[in-house]
């Protein structure tokens, strides 16, 4: 009897160009998502956003996995990308990583970071283990990200991830001390 397909498998099959390559003639998806079920919606949205942003470019995921209590996402492209495409892809990745940092990996509820004997996990009150980790920068969900002000100048911005909007809001870094 066939087992029902996992959501990760369905996602890979739905977006083969973003996932599948050939390894000795066999299909192989290095970016096959490896994370808790609570992050399914985050990963699905990430893939949808990147599929839209990079529709005509050879982008492929090389890793989507949980590390240090949050999602870590790596991708590659076989061709150089227009800057606006690359920025849109990076934005989708940053949103997914930020969302994972405040969403329980087990159940998808609002969550925070805990340390359980050195093991970091993002969990809601029900699924928490160990002790809560103090928020970096003294500001909930603050993220330092690379931003672009002009074509060739990279700056560091401080942005706040708004979980309800699933979007970044600029914050003044001076207020986060």
Binding site for Zn ion (CB under 5 A): 104, 106-107, 109, 124, 127
CB of 164 vs Zn ion, minimal distance in Å: 18
When the beta carbons of 37 and 173 are compared against Zn ion, the nearer one is 37
* Phi/psi-derived region of residue 24, left when phi > 0, alpha when psi is between -120 and 50, beta in every other case: left
CB of 168 vs Zn ion, minimal distance in Å: 24
User: What is residue 118's DSSP assignment?
Assistant: T
When the beta carbons of 84 and 110 are compared against Zn ion, the nearer one is 110
CB of 11 vs Zn ion, minimal distance in Å: 22
When the beta carbons of 29 and 101 are compared against Zn ion, the nearer one is 101
CB atoms closer than 10 angstroms to residue 73: 24
Separation CA 122–CA 100 (nearest Å): 8
When the beta carbons of 41 and 91 are compared against Zn ion, the nearer one is 41
Separation CA 3–CA 18 (nearest Å): 25
Task: Please give the residue whose beta carbon sits closest to Zn ion in the complex.
Answer: 104
Where do the H-state alpha helices sit in the chain? 7-14, 16-19, 40-53, 83-100
CB of 103 vs Zn ion, minimal distance in Å: 9
């Amino acid at each position: 009897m066939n087992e029902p397909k996992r959501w990760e498998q369905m996602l890979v099959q739905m977006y083969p160009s973003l996932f599948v390559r050939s390894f000795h003639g066999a299909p192989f998806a290095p970016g096959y998502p490896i994370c808790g079920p609570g992050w399914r919606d985050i990963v699905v949205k990430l893939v949808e956003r990147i599929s839209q942003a990079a529709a005509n470019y050879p982008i492929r995921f090389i890793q989507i996995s949980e590390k240090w209590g949050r999602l870590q996402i790596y991708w590659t492209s076989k061709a150089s990308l227009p800057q606006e495409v690359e920025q849109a892809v990076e934005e989708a990745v940053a949103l997914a990583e930020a969302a994972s940092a405040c969403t329980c990996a087990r159940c998808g509820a609002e969550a925070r970071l805990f340390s359980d004997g050195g093991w970091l996990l993002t969990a809601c009150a029900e699924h928490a283990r160990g002790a809560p980790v103090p928020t970096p920068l003294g500001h909930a969900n603050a993220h330092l990200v690379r931003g672009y002000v002009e074509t060739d100048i990279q700056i560091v911005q401080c942005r706040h991830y708004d979980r309800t909007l699933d979007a970044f809001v600029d914050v003044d870094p001076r207020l986060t001390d």
